[in-house]
């Protein structure tokens, strides 16, 4: 099977796939060496960019899928969000971030970090398929431990958790912390004696 034919076959499969398709599965389905499949995926991805298509070939959650071009997000969002809102609350986003960066993590650990009970939020995130039970902790009660799912990676457009931005990127720098400390001391009338 030449590159063009292999690319067309891969494209046809990705067009009907609901989830990202791993290259190993594509190789199995097409009875082609995985190296040829990887070459065809690269070739397809580059051709979509070169042609200026409204879609791209994305490598997500260990697989490949076709998705709309990021530049066209405003139009797709308008279409997808008509009459329906599936947005997550701030509490759900905070909880999801804790799970993503600290996994595996228990409900108690999440509650401790957030300072509030997270039972309802974790239940919602489980129902939506963003987190799942990945084990149980050692010790009393053996609490359930949560981790993120492939759907989480897919929705964020990531191939793996290693692509999450470093948590340090979200923390203020030392100069901001020092200014906050000075402002706080000033506001409290810093009384050392």
For the domain covering 3-73, report its CATH number.
1.10.10.10
- Percentage of the residues of the chain whose pLDDT score is greater than 90: 53
E strands, 69-159, where? 105-106, 131-136, 144-148
Cα atoms in the Cβ-side hemisphere of radius 13 Å centred on 8: 4
CATH class of 90-170: mainly alpha
Question: Is the pLDDT reported for residue 193 higher than 60?
Answer: no
Q: Do domains 3-73 and 90-170 have the same CATH topology?
A: yes
Stretch among 21-25, 100-104, 113-117, 122-126 having the lowest mean pLDDT:
113-117
When the pLDDT of each residue in the chain is averaged and rounded to a whole number, the result is 87
Residue 46 has a pLDDT of: 95
- For residue range 6-35, list pLDDT tens digits in order: 999 999 999 988 889 999 999 999 999 999
Question: Is the pLDDT reported for residue 165 higher than 80?
Answer: yes
Tokens for 146? 């949560």
Question: Is the pLDDT reported for residue 107 higher than 60?
Answer: yes
Element at 65 (helix H, strand E):
strand 63-68
Tokens for 104? 């595996």
Please give the average per-residue pLDDT across 51-61, as a whole number: 92
The DSSP secondary-structure symbol of 168 reads G
pLDDT band per the 50, 70, 90 thresholds, residue 147 = very high
Tell me how far apart the alpha carbons of residues 193 and 185 are, in angstroms, rounded to a whole number.
Answer: 14
Domain boundaries, the chain: 3-73, 90-170
Q: Which of 107, 129, 102 is nearest to 19 (CA)?
A: 129
pLDDT band per the 50, 70, 90 thresholds, residue 4 = confident
Cα atoms in the Cβ-side hemisphere of radius 13 Å centred on 180: 6
């Amino acid at each position: 099977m030449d590159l063009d034919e292999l690319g067309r076959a891969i494209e046809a499969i990705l067009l009907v796939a609901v989830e990202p398709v791993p290259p190993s599965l594509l190789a199995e389905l097409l009875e082609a060496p995985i190296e040829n499949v990887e070459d065809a995926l690269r070739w397809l991805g580059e051709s979509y960019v070169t042609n200026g298509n409204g879609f791209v070939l994305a490598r997500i959650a260990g697989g490949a899928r076709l998705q709309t071009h990021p530049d066209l997000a405003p139009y797709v969002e308008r279409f997808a969000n008509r009459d329906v809102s599936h947005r997550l609350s701030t509490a759900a986003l905070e909880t999801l971030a804790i799970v993503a960066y600290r996994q595996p993590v228990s409900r108690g650990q999440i509650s401790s970090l957030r300072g509030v009970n997270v039972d309802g939020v974790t239940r919602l995130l489980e129902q939506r398929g963003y987190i799942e039970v990945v084990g149980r902790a050692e010790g009393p009660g053996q609490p359930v431990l949560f981790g993120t799912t492939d759907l989480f990676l897919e929705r964020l457009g990531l191939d793996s958790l290693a692509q999450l931005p470093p948590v340090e990127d979200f923390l203020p720098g030392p100069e901001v912390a020092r200014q906050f400390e000075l402002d706080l001391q000033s506001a409290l009338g810093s009384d050392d004696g």
